Structures are given as C-alpha cells and as structure tokens.
Amino acid sequence: MDAAVQWKTGNRSQTGTKSGKAHSAGRGCVLVTGATGSLGGALIERILADSDMDVLALVRESGRESAEMRLHAAIDFEQIPGEARGRIGSIPGDIRRAPWHGDTSLRNMLRTRVTEIFHLAASTDLTGTRESLMAANVDGTQAMLTLAQDLHSNGRLERFNHFSTAFIAGSAQDHHAMEAYPCPQPAWANAYEESKHIAEGNVHAAIAGGLPATVFRPSIVVGNSDDGYTRSFGLFYHIVRKIKRSGIRRLPGEESDRIQIVPLDFVCNAALEISRRTDSTGGIFHLVSDNAPDFATLLRVGAEEMEWARGLSLIPVERFSPAARSVLQSAFVFLNYFHRDLDFDTTNTREALRGSGIAMPDTDAEYIRRILHYACAMDYL
C-alpha cells in the first residue's frame, strides 16, 4: 500500500499521493531527517525563508503523536508563516524503516523531486548502549546513503549533506582535530563518538564512489546568537540541570577548562551557505566557536543569572570525593567535555564562508548570559 505524503496547506493538512501534489515538477525539493529537533526545525525554517524549495521531512511517530502532528508542532514552534507551510511535507517512518524501501511510487516521486538531502537524524544519548547507537547512527546513515545513491543515479539528487560531530576523534584525550578523515588514533569516550566516526567513514566511502556529499561537524549546539532561542535543551543544558538538581556545591574541574559550544543559528546559516558552493562537495567543515568559554566564565555568569548557582566552586577532578562523584555519576559522562583540551581546525570553514557575511561565532560571557537567560525563562533551569 502506498504511504501518503502529508503536505501542509496554510493551517490545514492535505493528503496526496506521491506524484499527485500540485507543485511545479521543475522546482527542487529538500529531504530532511531529524526535522523535529531544534537544529532540524531551524534548518527547515531557513530553507523555506531563503529559497522557493519544497521540504520533505522524514518523521517518526511517537506514542499517540503521528508524524504529521509532530511536524506540525515543530513548524508551529519555528513560527513558519502560512505561505511557507504549503511547501512542507512529511513522510512517516524512521531512517531504517522508511516507507520508500518498499514503496515504488514513493521512490519514484523522490527520484523526480528531491535535489538535496540534509541528514541530521541521530541518537545523541551519551549513556546509550553501543548496540542502540550503532543502529541509529551507523545503520541509519547507511540507509540514507543507499537512498542518496539511488536518487543520484536515477533521479535529480545533487548533494547529500551529512551532519557528523566535531568529536569524532574522541574526547578521551587532548587533541587538535583537523578537517580530515580518518582521525589518527581516536580516543572515544563513549559509543556515541565511535558511532559517529564510523558513520562518517561510510559517507567518505560513498564520496569516493561518486556520491556528491558534504560533511558538517558541529560541536555542542546551543541557543541562537542574539536571543539564546532553542527548541530543545540538549547536552550543555542537561549538564547544568544535573548540577542544579544534585545539590553539589563544589564541581570537578579547573577554571581554565573549556566547553566547545556553538550557536544554533550559525550552524544553520553556515551549513546552508557552504552546501550551495559547488567546490564544497567532498569537503569536511568544522562548525565551531572561536572562543570556547571556560569554567570561570560559566560560573561567574551562572551566578549572576541563576540564584541557585551562587557559591558554586571548583575542585580538581582527582580530589573530587567518591560520595560527590556518586551523586553526579550520570553527569560525569557529560563533564568529560569540559576536562579535555579540544580544539578544531577551521581552515575549510573559514575559506568557504569568506565573503558570505557569516562570521565565526563569538561565545563570550554575554552570549552565555543569553542562553542561560532563555533556558531560565523557559523554566528548564
């Protein structure tokens, strides 16, 4: 049975077959995975605002929420206007079990329409099992690569954009990461980093086989540059909330320890700009900040923005008591990103953004203030 594509039309949804939608056959369409996440939603908003392209989102059903309902909630949150909503469609399913694998008419529609893919869907659960992370990140990416190769050979696909991570070399050792693959002597702190390294390797193998693809490696994505906005609160915010709920007043670390975070809007704008360049095919681009904030700045600004954070202090990791460690045990996997000296080459990124008006982001104290203020205003912290 054919799986229907759900297209948004103003404030109403319209169901149509894959080949029966009244859109211009000549206009391109962008297929996006991970569309209901903060980064995916923001990316879709920018695509619709900056072009006349249609967007198809692969969306999983979740509990009682259909794919259509989840996408609708995402575009409501992004405040996408009515005209642009008519250019958004959803395909129910997840990466490895998407309906196009057995639906000939849907596959033919994708061959006819899709000119670009942005693959963002991934599991970022740092405490997840190796099996679950490999299934989501390695098998999921391979499934999308298989689709991309088919759409490139038999359809209109011009580019596959893969979102990897800046941490594929691992965060279990200090290192300077280059915009290259493979990473020499990786030291993965968790199965997430390992799975993303393997998945990116599969992308490079596909590139060697002729697939036009680009790899983006963001660090830890947090709120927008100007107002701290984010649709969901991930790793960085999770660490802060863990500390708040633990009641611990002394944290493991040094004032000079830094955390690699990057604004949401920079990642979206830079990725879209770079993906439009013909010379970015086959390239790797670190989407990171120039000035990762240190623990001293985070504690100072945190104390100014959050009453509960006043009086927090630091203690060297080796002197952190076993009792305190047990209280913060679930946060230690995240705190590892503070305790390593990790920095990233951005030669490719800077060159690709030259003349675009998109500057490398500044994650200074005032930026930290904005993202914490927004998280507090949304009652997350």
The whole-number pLDDT of residue 61 equals 76
User: Which 8-state DSSP code applies to residue 279?
Assistant: G
Query: Does the pLDDT of residue 379 top 80, yes or no?
Result: yes
pLDDT band at 17, cuts 50/70/90?
very low
Higher pLDDT, 66 or 251: 251
pLDDT band at 8, cuts 50/70/90?
very low
Residue 286 DSSP SS3: strand
Query: Does the pLDDT of residue 2 top 60, yes or no?
Result: no
Alpha helices in the chain (DSSP H): 38-50, 67-77, 82-85, 104-113, 130-133, 140-154, 191-208, 235-246, 264-275, 295-305, 322-327, 329-339, 347-353, 365-377
Query: Is 149 inside a domain boundary?
Result: yes
| CATH code of residue 137 | 3.40.50.720
pLDDT band at 11, cuts 50/70/90?
very low
User: Which 8-state DSSP code applies to residue 99?
Assistant: G
Spatial distance between the Cα atoms of 254 and 130, rounded to a whole number of angstroms: 31
pLDDT band at 9, cuts 50/70/90?
very low
- Burial letters 73-85, b for 16+ CB under 10 A, else e: ebbebbebeeebb
Query: Does the pLDDT of residue 292 top 70, yes or no?
Result: yes
Query: Is 300 inside a domain boundary?
Result: no
Query: Is 321 inside a domain boundary?
Result: no
Residues 115-158 have pLDDT tens digits of: 999 999 999 998 899 999 999 999 999 999 999 999 999 999 99
Query: Is 54 inside a domain boundary?
Result: yes
Residues 181-224 have pLDDT tens digits of: 999 899 999 999 999 999 999 999 999 999 999 999 999 999 99
Spatial distance between the Cα atoms of 293 and 305, rounded to a whole number of angstroms: 16
Higher pLDDT, 67 or 164: 164
The whole-number pLDDT of residue 77 equals 66
State the average pLDDT over residues 256-284. Answer: 97
State the average pLDDT over residues 346-360. Answer: 98
Spatial distance between the Cα atoms of 182 and 197, rounded to a whole number of angstroms: 8
**Region of 165 on the Ramachandran plot (φ > 0 left; ψ -120 to 50 alpha; else beta):** beta
- For the entire predicted model, the pTM comes to 0.91
pLDDT band at 16, cuts 50/70/90?
very low
Domain that includes residue 53, residue range? 5-224+261-289+343-360
Query: Is 84 inside a domain boundary?
Result: yes
Query: Does the pLDDT of residue 14 top 50, yes or no?
Result: no
State the average pLDDT over residues 345-365. Answer: 97
Of 72-76, 114-118, 294-298, give the lowest mean pLDDT range: 72-76
Q: Which residue in 372, 226, 371, 363 sits closest to 291, CA to CA?
A: 363
Contact 157, 116 (CB under 8 A): yes
Query: Is 107 inside a domain boundary?
Result: yes
For the chain, the domain total comes to 1
Query: Does the pLDDT of residue 93 top 50, yes or no?
Result: yes
The whole-number pLDDT of residue 22 equals 32
Query: Is 189 inside a domain boundary?
Result: yes
The whole-number pLDDT of residue 26 equals 59
Query: Is 192 inside a domain boundary?
Result: yes
Q: What percent of the chain has pLDDT over 70?
A: 91
